[in-house]
Copies of this chain bind each other. A is one copy, B any other.
Amino acid sequence: MTTAAINPKIGTTMKSLVYHGPGQKAWEDKPYPSIKESGDAIVRITTSTICGTDLHIMKGDVPTVTDGRILGHEGIGVVEQVGSGVTEFHVGDKVIISCVTACTKCDFCRKGMYSHCRTGGWILGNTIDGTQAEYVRIPHADGSLYHFPDGGDEEALVMLSDILPTGFECGVLNGQVKPGDTVAIVGAGPVGLAVLLTAQFYSPAAIYVIDLDDNRLAVAKKFGATTVINSSDGKAVERVLELTGGAGVDVAIEAVGIGATFDICQEIVAAGGRLANVGVHGKPVMLHLEKLWSHNIALTTRLVDTVTLPMLLKIVLSGKLQPSKLATHRFALNDIQKAYEIFGNAAKESALKVILTNK
């Protein structure tokens, strides 16, 4: 059922970053992956990166990740082998790997909700081995890989694996950002900045970015924020209401994942506005329905589907978006432990995304 017989690497080993419980990980040998289903492809990783979610995993916050799992769900690479059912990719094709695996056939995939694919979704570096390795097995390859364009920049396009679609789909599309809108983004980490970059596709009149860290706010300003607000004085809500003549913002986007930032959002969203949640929350929040019941708002949640990956790719290629500016640090893939250290101290290190290269 596969072309495995002709792949001399079968049975050899590769290097990979392996999770061994909270706080424990190692750059170690694992077997070279093999095709398991007819839709699988094996991809040699050329560029990868680290996600905030990987840090959550390392803290033990994601119970589906168990000892022995290879981490990582972002990457660029080259197809080494394909199963018999793969029709869209061939050995040697350079590809962008989506963080979300999509069969394209199930009811959820049919409506563009790849995140909830019956046999996919976010599984890479979670319930199956991931991309922080020399090689990775990609199930449902036809639905989960995208052709890397000739002359493309790996550093820029690896941002299409997760962070740009996340900011765009969960923040901008769900928030229905429209020309002339006033938008507030709460949180200026990499995901908040991805929201900021992609919100500008729709020409809002104003974008306020709120964070506790002045360095990040300076980056936000450079990336197109019209106003930045340091919320460490507890007066962000007051400031936004002042800026909007008391009305609040058309779109409030939560890009942190805690109660305090969610609270800011629900206090600043205008009547008729949208509150788009992007952050990953670990706890319930208090929703002030006693006020909001009559405010005609929509609050949305979303796990990224990466359905907009092809559209984002077009915009990057058109030159209207330069995602490489999210890359602040570069390492060889086998220095990944050092990269985690830097990324784990992102604020202090002024780090956004760290690029891992395997050449």
Q: Which of A26-34, A69-77, A184-192, A302-310 contacts B (4 or more CB under 8 A)?
A: A302-310
Q: How far is the CA of A292 from the CA of B281 in the complex (A)?
A: 9
A110 at the interface (CB under 8 A from B): yes
With A257-B293, A284-B286 in contact, do A84 and B87 touch (Cβ < 8 Å)?
no
Taking a contact as CB atoms under 8 Å apart, the answer to whether A296 and B115 are in contact is yes
Docked-complex contact B272 and A113, CB < 8 angstroms: yes
Are B297 and A301 touching (Cβ within 8 A)? yes
Q: How large is the interface on A (under 10, 10 to 19, 20 to 34, 35 or more residues)?
A: 35 or more
Of the candidates A205, A279, A289, the one having the most CB atoms from chain B within 10 angstroms of its own CB is A289
- Interface pair B286/A296, CB less than 8 Å apart: no
Q: Which listed residue (B1, B279, B285, B312) contacts A287, Cβ 8 A? A: B285
B286 touches A281 (CB 8 A): no
Q: How many copies of this chain does the complex contain? A: 4
Q: Is A38 in contact with chain B by the CB < 8 A criterion?
A: yes
Which B residue sits closest to A119, measured CB to CB?
B87
In the complex, are the beta carbons of B298 and A298 less than 8 A apart? Answer: yes
Q: Which residues of B contact A310 (CB under 8 A)?
A: 107, 110, 180
B279 lies within 8 A of A293 (CB): yes
- Cβ–Cβ contact B104 & A109, under 8 A: yes
Contact with B along A260-277 (1 / 0, CB 8 A): 001000000001100001
Q: Which residues of B contact A1 (CB under 8 A)?
A: 1, 84
A271 touches B116 (CB 8 A): yes
Sample (27) of A-B pairs whose CB atoms are under 8 Å apart: A87-B103, A104-B110, A108-B272, A110-B307, A111-B272, A113-B271, A180-B312, A180-B315, A200-B203, A203-B320, A205-B314, A205-B317, A205-B318, A257-B293, A283-B289, A284-B286, A286-B286, A289-B301, A292-B301, A293-B301, A294-B301, A294-B303, A295-B301, A296-B301, A297-B301, A298-B298, A299-B299
